[in-house]
């Protein structure tokens, strides 16, 4: 695979201290091609969410190579990582992570405003319309359903057109019907903007919708699922 969007090679990470320390990643090797949708599955504690955190620079590995969108994350300081995420990564969390005292419009506009882009509100409105929430612009998260909150989160993740999107159990807090609708939207919007998607999930059916699925166990890949 030439010039992958995401490359993790020999990544190790131990979390905790002393007797409570746990080796979460144990020589993880992972490559995701540009434009690919990769499903990363495994049991709780297998290290899949930590792999996502390392990919976004929210966790630093103890050793190994982490190259994302051409950037060596191990060589960036905290400010450099923040700039990298603002430019190259969109993140969708299981628990939405919306700012409670901001409207849907303000939540989506924030990544653009942090970049100093003057048309932030107009682009946020367009992105919310694209996820079916044109009539919810002024609603605060507490006035939105779980599915609507996750739609706002997807809009926020994609509004700055990042080349890479990562999603950690994006349907985990939703009922089956709502989760299916949100998954449909996520896959569709990622395709429309041409992004690479790394999807972490315990849901085999959701993972099967990806171009490729790999299985993690004890902090490393153990198989690719056909």
Per-residue pLDDT 10s for the chain (226 aa) are 578 999 999 999 999 888 888 899 999 999 999 999 999 999 989 999 999 999 999 999 999 999 999 999 999 999 999 999 999 999 999 999 999 999 999 999 999 998 898 899 999 999 999 999 999 999 999 999 999 999 999 999 999 999 999 999 999 999 999 999 999 999 999 999 999 999 999 888 999 999 999 999 999 998 777 5
The per-residue pLDDT for 73 is: 97
Q: How far apart are CA 53 and CA 219, in angstroms?
A: 13
Q: What is the pTM assigned to this prediction?
A: 0.94
Residue 69 sits at the vertex; the CA angle it makes with 150 and 72, to the nearest 5 degrees, is 120
The per-residue pLDDT for 18 is: 84
The per-residue pLDDT for 198 is: 98
The per-residue pLDDT for 223 is: 77
Q: How far apart are CA 107 and CA 155, in angstroms?
A: 9
Q: Where are the alpha helices (DSSP H) in 78-175?
A: 78-88, 104-114, 120-130, 146-158
Question: Which of 95, 94, 100, 102 lies closest to 124 in space, CA to CA?
Answer: 102
DSSP 147: H
The per-residue pLDDT for 1 is: 58
Q: Look at residue 87 and give its three-state secondary structure.
A: helix
Q: How far apart are CA 47 and CA 28, in angstroms?
A: 9
- HSE-up (13 A, CA, CB side) for residue 221: 17
DSSP 208: T
């Amino acid at each position: 695979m030439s010039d992958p969007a995401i490359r993790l090679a020999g990544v190790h990470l131990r979390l905790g201290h002393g007797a409570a320390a746990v080796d979460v990643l144990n020589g993880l090797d992972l490559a995701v091609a540009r434009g690919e949708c990769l499903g990363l599955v495994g049991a709780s504690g297998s290290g899949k969410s930590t792999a996502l955190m390392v990919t976004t620079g929210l966790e630093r590995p103890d050793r190994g190579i982490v190259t994302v969108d051409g950037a060596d994350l191990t060589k960036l300081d905290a400010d450099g990582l923040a700039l990298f995420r603002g430019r190259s990564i969109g993140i969708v969390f299981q628990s939405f992570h919306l700012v409670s005292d901001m409207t849907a419009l303000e939540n989506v506009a924030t990544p653009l405003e942090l970049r100093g882009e003057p048309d932030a509100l107009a682009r946020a409105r367009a992105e919310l319309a694209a996820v079916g929430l044109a009539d919810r612009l002024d609603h605060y998260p507490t006035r939105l359903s779980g599915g609507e909150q996750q739609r706002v989160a997807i809009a926020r993740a994609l509004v700055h057109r990042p080349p890479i999107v990562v999603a950690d159990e994006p349907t985990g807090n939703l009922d089956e019907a709502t989760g299916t609708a949100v998954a449909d939207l996520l896959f569709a919007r990622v395709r429309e903007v041409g992004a690479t998607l790394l999807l972490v999930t315990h849901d085999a059916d959701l993972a099967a919708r990806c171009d490729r699925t790999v299985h993690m166990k004890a902090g490393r890949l153990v198989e690719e699922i056909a």
